[in-house]
Amino acid sequence: MSATFARSRLLPALLLAALLGLPAAAQTQTISLIKVTGSRHFTAQAIVQASGLRVGGPFSPALARQAVNRLTATGAFAHISYTFFPAGAGVGIQMTLQDAAHFAPAEFDNFVWFTPAQLNAALEKAIPLYHGQLPAYGGGLADQIVRRLQALLARRGIHATVQYLTSVGGAGRGPEVQFSIVGLRIPVAAITFPGAAAALQPRLAATVRSELGSNFSWEVAQGWTQGPSRAVYLRRGYLAVQLGPPRVTLAPGAAPRVDVALPVRPGPVYHLASALAFPPLPQLPPAAVAKRFAAAVPATDRQPGAVANPVALQRGVAAIVHLYHLHGYYSAHAALRPHLQKAQALVTYGLAAAPGPRYAMGKLVLEGWPQSITQRLRRLWKLAPGQPYSGIYLRHFLVTAITAIRAQAVFTVTADPRTLTVDVAIRPGA
């Protein structure tokens, strides 16, 4: 005879003994077999090890309940059921598990004494259910990792608190569980760019000068490989440039400080294969688009054979989006589409634009102002209900109007996709 129990239905020991056909006095037996099914995320060996059970070890209902509770507490499983049955001279256990719905990679933010590979190896060795990922929304498995990380730090004489936080990853990635040390300052002593040409070193150093002395974070350091540092190369046609990943070393001295190296692999200099000519864009007159783009991008950055400069070209894209906004396309966006001819180091650019629906001005709400100022603001506001809504107009209005009334203000913009109208509320600032 066999008996199956979900973790929420635990029967008394005597009833369990009766179901198993075992005398109450002989409930402590030996586990002769453990079967595990249902999990796709973990091996049977890891699950058994994490449960605390082992073939040849003692069996009792209390030990079985403890094993299931131990697995449940990790947060790695949405459901666990188990069955006991006679197996040879002992007891067999069948566990059926359903994995948690969401798992996320572990990220280690400021553990500068270890590489991520070293931390993962140490955690995988110590924690059976850890293999670089864990339940996305916490649980006992994350707590086990915290304790292990604190122990690794303590071995180096660093007694600090470790915390974790689930965050949405950048660039379209899913959630990440980030572990970090809190209460310990680790200043950035130096940032270098090995592999960069000597002529560009001063410009690159200038892009990160404000970061010197800041508290080190892996996540922030990875951001240094984008933004201004990358733009130094993009302006010069290095479209395939690769910066990073960051390399971190401890700087000399008793207090923890770090030197950060951002390796540079510039690649070839790309040139424009042809003059920029965009296809007609939705809802905009071609002549207006061409005029706006030409006004924002110098001719030397648009001609065939010119060094490709996507930073300059992006100013032209911003001008086109600005034009969309002026015409009421509140959610419009546009992007350059480069087509690289790698063998010739040439590039052709296209432009994709999505204007979205056209929004009209809805209500202007003025709250919290004295009546005299309310009346003055209404006279100054020229965007009538039903006219194309422009967030650009709102920004210009706030500059001129707030100067006129000599007061601070905050504004709230509410777009209604059902009516395609935008209400603007302007209230006194703090």
pLDDT at 9: 33
Residue 1 has pLDDT above 80, yes or no: no
- Closest among 406, 286, 420, 418 to 353, alpha carbons compared: 286
> What integer is the mean pLDDT of 136-163?
92
> What integer is the mean pLDDT of 123-136?
94
> What integer is the mean pLDDT of 201-209?
96
> What integer is the mean pLDDT of 216-245?
93
pLDDT at 19: 41
Residue 242 has pLDDT above 60, yes or no: yes
* Angstrom distance (rounded) from CA 223 to CA 244: 10
Same fold, 103-182 and 271-354: yes
pLDDT at 15: 33
Q: Which residue has the higher pLDDT, 214 or 285?
A: 214
- Closest among 190, 189, 191, 185 to 215, alpha carbons compared: 185
Query: Domain 103-182 belongs to what architecture?
Result: Roll (3.10)
Q: What rounded mean pLDDT belongs to the chain?
A: 88
**Phi-psi sector, 15: left (phi>0), alpha (psi -120 to 50), beta:** alpha
What proportion of the chain, given as a percentage, has pLDDT over 70?
92
Residue 172 has pLDDT above 60, yes or no: no
pLDDT at 275: 80
Residue 33 has pLDDT above 70, yes or no: yes
**AA identity, residue 230:** R
Q: Which residue has the higher pLDDT, 8 or 392?
A: 392
pLDDT at 252: 85
* Angstrom distance (rounded) from CA 164 to CA 179: 4
Q: Which residue has the higher pLDDT, 180 or 411?
A: 180
Residues 189, 257 contacting (CB under 8 angstroms): yes
Beta bridge partners of 82: 5, 95
Residue 110 has pLDDT above 60, yes or no: yes
| Structure confidence at residue 28 as a pLDDT band (50, 70, 90) | low
The 3-state secondary structure of the chain reads CCEEEECCCCCCHHHHHHHHCCCHHHCCEEEEEEEEECCCCCCHHHHHHHHCCCCCCEECHHHHHHHHHHHHHCCCEEEEEEEEEEECCEEEEEEEEEECCCEEEEEECCCCCCCHHHHHHHHHHHCCCCCCEEECCCCHHHHHHHHHHHHHHHHCCCCCEEEEEEEECCCCCCEEEEEEEECCCCEEEEEECCCCCHHHHHHHHHHHHHHCCCECCHHHHHHHCCHHHHHHHHCCCCCCCEECCCEEEECCCCCCCEEEECCEECCCCCEECCCCCCCCCCCCCHHHHHHHHHHHCCHHHCCCCCECCHHHHHHHHHHHHHHHHHCCCCCCEEEEEEEEECCCCEEEEEEEEECCCCCEEEEEEECCCCHHHHHHHHHHCCCCCCCECCHHHHHHHHHHHHHHHCCCEEEEEEEECCCCEEEEEEEECC
> What integer is the mean pLDDT of 347-368?
92
Residue 62 has pLDDT above 50, yes or no: yes
User: How far out from the chain centre does Cα 331 lie?
Assistant: 23
> What integer is the mean pLDDT of 360-375?
92
CB-based contacts of 51: which residues, under 8 Å, 6+ apart?
Answer: 67, 68, 70, 71, 95
pLDDT at 11: 34
* Angstrom distance (rounded) from CA 27 to CA 58: 10
What proportion of the chain, given as a percentage, has pLDDT over 90?
67
Residue 73 has pLDDT above 50, yes or no: yes
pLDDT at 26: 43
Domains of the chain, by residue range, sit at 3-99, 103-182, 189-265, 271-354, 360-428
* Angstrom distance (rounded) from CA 101 to CA 171: 22
Residues 222, 244 contacting (CB under 8 angstroms): yes
Which range, of 162-171, 199-208, 287-296, 378-387, averages the lowest pLDDT? 162-171
CATH class of 3-99: alpha beta
The token pair that represents 28 in the structure block = 């402590």
Residues 242, 265 contacting (CB under 8 angstroms): yes
Beta bridge partners of 92: 33, 85
> What integer is the mean pLDDT of 63-82?
93
pLDDT at 25: 40
| Structure confidence at residue 18 as a pLDDT band (50, 70, 90) | very low
Q: Which residue has the higher pLDDT, 286 or 129?
A: 129
pLDDT at 170: 54
pLDDT at 173: 64
Q: Which residue has the higher pLDDT, 162 or 13?
A: 162
CATH number of 360-428: 3.10.20.310
> What integer is the mean pLDDT of 75-96?
92
Query: Domain 189-265 belongs to what architecture?
Result: Roll (3.10)
Query: Domain 271-354 belongs to what architecture?
Result: Roll (3.10)
Beta bridge partners of 347: 272, 340
pLDDT at 12: 36
With a threshold of 0.85, does the pTM exceed it?
A: no
